[in-house]
Structure 1
Amino acid sequence: MNRREAIRKTALGLGTAAGVPTLLSLLQACAKEDRLTWTPQFLKEDQALFVSSFVDFLLPRTDTPGGLDVKADIFMDLMYAKAYDEDGQKNVVAQIEKFNQDCKAKYGAVFAEMSVEDKGACFREQEANSPKFPKNVWGTSVGPSEPVGFYRSLKSMALWAYFSSEEIGKNVLSYDPIPGPYQGCIPLSDVGNTWSL
């Protein structure tokens, strides 16, 4: 083998060696992400995938962090593990199973495996058919109330987890750990962004 041929083969080998990791990373990026990156405390893996998919669809990453970025799904799993009694935990598991069964019957797949379009249709249907939270004044319910159902309570917990996270409280919402003087009457335009405290 002459010198020129040896250099050509060496360059080709180096190019292939450099290209393989890039190709593998592209393949991994295109692969369907259906595994958890955390260990659930209470939920089984398929139930945790449901909660993570629900949170990700409800609160996707845009120019602000998404629900999974602030670990709202992990918070919800901990709430089920630590704050719910046994009956409440059984109810959550049963409701997740029912939600997934309904999705499979209507869309041909459990929620975590549905297309974005089908998830959107599912959410629109749930919004239209789920009872609303009762009206309230300063946190006290006013008028008759009925159970809001699984979808609305799951959505509420996801939103609570998201907006009470440190990342959103400090970097997305307005945040003033030491508020200034009380100003009882100011124009709404001076208020600006929603406040986290």
Structure 2
Amino acid sequence: MAVALGGLMSLPAWADGWNKASVASLPPFLTPAQDALLADIVETIIPATDTPGAKALGVHSFIQKMVADCYEKSVQDNVTKGLATVESLAKQTAGKPFGSLDETQRIALLKQLEQAIDADQKSFYRLVKSLTIQGYMTSEYVMTNITKYEMVPGRYHGCVPVAAKALTDKK
């Protein structure tokens, strides 16, 4: 009972939008090159338009923090293996690193991962895609500027005039 109460009390802290400073992972489990590759992948999934893309919002840092803190070692290893696979597939298909590919080549390569027969490649892509969407939608920028999120229960309007018709309808 105490654990449930403690979890409910800490819920508002998790519901607030995160920002780059709040997800600083010490030490990061990805190398700087892998982190840059992950940033390019998330930017391909949610590119910048009239709103910032996933890379600009630091979603790759969110993913790295989530994987490091919330997933077991086998998933972390699959992420590093998946990043290596993305880089090797890019060099095989286009002859250059993933970061140097144009948008259509990047999308084609990610679709190839999504439809892969290898379960590890498929699970890597699913994890990165789902965490990208989660990280983007729960970022401080999106929650405050796009969805206009308000903490539950929302606004309270205590003094609202009640129409006379509404009172007679209840009788």
Counterpart selection for 1:173 from 144, 147, 152: 147
Q: Which blocks of at least 5 consecutive residues in structure 2 are unaligned? A: 1-25, 157-171
Q: 2:136 aligns with which of 153, 162, 169?
A: 162
More deviation in 107-116 or 162-171?
107-116
Between the aligned partners of 2:110 and 2:76, the Cα distance in structure 1 is: 23
Amino acid at match of 1:160: Q
Question: 2:42: which partner in 1?
Answer: 55
Unaligned runs of 5+ in 1: 1-38, 132-145, 182-197
The number of aligned residues is 129
Structure 1 residues 131-142: aligned runs within 5 Å: none
Give aligned-pair identity as a percent.
26
Indicate conservation of the 8 Å contact 1:130/1:149, yes or no: no
1:41 equivalent in structure 2: 28
TM-score normalised by structure 1 residue count: 0.56
Q: In the TM superposition, what are the counterparts of 1:95-114 in structure 2 within 5 Å?
A: 95-114=82-101
Distance 1:74 1:166 in 2: 14
- Aligned mates of 1:118, 1:111 — CA distance in 2: 9
Amino acid at match of 1:165: S
The whole-number CA distance in structure 1 between the counterparts of 2:97 and 2:124 is 16
Q: Secondary structure at the match of 1:74?
A: helix
Structure 1 pair 94–56 and aligned structure 2 pair: CA distance change class (3 A): same
Tell me what 2:78 maps to. 91
Superposed displacement of residue 154, structure 1: 0.9
What whole-Å deviation, never above 9, does each CA across 1:18-71 have from its counterpart, x for those lacking one? xxxxxxxxxxxxxxxxxxxxx971101221111000111221221112112221
Scaled by the length of structure 2, the TM-score of the pair is: 0.64
Structure 1 outlier segments of 4+, above 4 Å = none
Larger relative contact order (CA 8 Å, sep ≥ 6): 2
